[in-house]
């Protein structure tokens, strides 16, 4: 490798070249793909007229010899621009008990972040965590025989105040940006997910009221392994994590810094406050934290302070690092699910602009 090119740039160039080679030899028309997580670049990266602009595939491996309730399989839903692009892929990770739905659309039928980012030229890969029942990694027989694991699901009673819709269910904040009149669609999207003693807690863990730093209990090894497989397949790229998805994302960014170009953390759990951890996380990757409104009312002040600390520490080596606090920008009423709020396009534009800096 030439000393004049970084390892990240080398990996990007290698992936693009390999994708072009594959595109010249194959034409993929099936929206599903076999598990080939060791492959350097997936068929979804092909840029030919016959291949689809959206679809899904799977990463990670099923461990049939283990008695664990969830294995390493995870679904990935992808969308890419209609034409070839050299812009970085964006890997989006939802929070605990949430699915790719939060990025793909909104309850009232507006465009989701996937479409905004793809229109800006970024291939987008939305990770569906293995613990989600609809992702493919659940062993139902092991679940039935487990004393420490159970299925859980978000309820609107917990979500409404915790995510900043309002103080009580049915009583929204006057300036709330979430389309609460269509909240039934959000509730319908909640997947059942596996709760275990060591990988996400019991039913109360869904409140996600984590404090400063920490959060490793939200990063089970099956999830981090599958996310690593995805980055190995499509990276280097931008890692965009939400809420408890931050814990897995930060762990993977620390383990695979060469494959993480930038980190966007939307109200994350587990934002590291240790200088060494931040220095290792993504290497010299710039970090952006994003926060909405009513953080004090939601009991998540400590999480925001941790994210601010992460941004400040990352800024010592990556000056582009920042905390985008929307209320400080004069933008009020945004919720924990700002990717679905009525100004989700404005927020997406700010993130996309930052990625391109």
> Which CATH number characterizes residue 107's domain?
3.40.50.1820
With a cut of 60, say whether residue 238 has pLDDT above it.
yes
In a domain, 56, yes or no: yes
The C-alpha atoms of residue 30 and residue 113 are separated, in whole angstroms, by 24
Provide the β-strand partners of residue 266. 242, 290
**Within a domain: 263:** yes
**Which of 165, 184, 188, 151 shows the shortest CA–CA distance to 70?**
151
Contact status, residue 195 vs residue 205, Cβ threshold 8 Å: yes
SS3 74: strand
Q: Which pLDDT band, with edges at 50, 70 and 90, does 16 fall under?
A: very low
pLDDT digits (tens, 9 = 90+) for 284-317: 899 999 999 999 999 999 999 999 999 999 999 9
310-326: average pLDDT: 96
Task: Tell me if 2 is assigned to some domain.
Answer: no
Residue 44 reports pLDDT greater than 70: no
Strand partners, 239: 91, 263
Neighbours of 314 (CB within 10 A): 26
Query: How many domains is the chain partitioned into structurally?
Result: 1
Q: Is residue 315 part of a domain?
A: yes
Is position 87 within any domain? yes
* Residue 88, domain extent: 7-356
Higher pLDDT, 277 or 24: 277
pLDDT band at 130 (very low <50, low <70, confident <90, very high): confident
| Cα-Cα end-to-end distance for the chain | 26
Residue 112 corresponds to which tokens in the numbers above? 């989701």
pLDDT, mean of residues 12-31: 37
pLDDT band at 84; cut points 50, 70, 90: confident
pLDDT at 25: 35
- Global pTM reads 0.81
Reply yes or no on whether the pLDDT at 43 is more than 60.
Answer: no
Where is average pLDDT lowest: 84-88, 234-238, 340-344? 84-88
More confident site: 5 or 341: 341
């Amino acid at each position: 490798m030439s000393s004049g090119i970084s390892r990240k740039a080398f990996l990007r160039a290698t992936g693009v070249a390999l994708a072009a080679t594959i595109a010249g030899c194959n034409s993929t028309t099936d929206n599903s793909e076999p598990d080939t997580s060791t492959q350097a670049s997936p068929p979804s990266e092909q840029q030919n007229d016959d291949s689809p602009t959206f679809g899904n595939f799977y990463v990670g491996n099923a461990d049939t010899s283990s008695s664990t309730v969830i294995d390493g399989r995870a679904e990935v839903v992808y969308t890419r621009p209609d034409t070839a692009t050299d812009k970085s892929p964006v890997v989006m990770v939802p929070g605990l008990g949430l699915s790719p739905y939060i990025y793909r659309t909104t309850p009232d039928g507006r465009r989701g972040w996937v479409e905004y980012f793809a229109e800006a030229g970024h291939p987008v890969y939305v990770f569906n965590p293995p613990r989600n029942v609809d992702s493919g990694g659940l062993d139902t027989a092991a679940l039935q025989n487990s004393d420490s694991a159970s299925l859980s699901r978000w309820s609107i009673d917990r979500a409404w105040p915790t995510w900043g819709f309002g103080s009580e269910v049915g009583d929204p904040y006057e300036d709330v940006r979430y389309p609460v009149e269509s909240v039934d669609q959000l509730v319908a999207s909640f997947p059942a997910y596996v709760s275990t003693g060591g990988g996400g807690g019991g039913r109360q863990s869904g409140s996600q009221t984590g404090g400063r730093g920490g959060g490793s209990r939200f990063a089970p090894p099956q999830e981090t392994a599958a996310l690593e497989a995805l980055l190995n397949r499509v990276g280097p790229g931008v890692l965009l994590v939400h809420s408890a998805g931050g814990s897995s994302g930060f762990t993977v960014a620390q383990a695979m810094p060469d494959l993480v170009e930038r980190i966007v953390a939307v109200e994350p759990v587990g934002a590291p406050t240790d200088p060494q951890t931040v220095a290792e996380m993504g290497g010299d990757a710039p970090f952006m934290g994003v926060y909405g409104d009513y953080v004090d009312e939601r009991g998540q002040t400590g999480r925001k302070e941790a994210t601010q600390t992460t941004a400040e520490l990352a800024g010592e080596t990556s000056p582009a690092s920042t905390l985008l606090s929307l209320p400080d920008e004069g933008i009020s009423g945004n919720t924990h699910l700002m990717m679905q709020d009525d100004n989700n396009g404005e927020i997406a534009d700010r993130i996309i602009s930052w990625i391109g800096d």
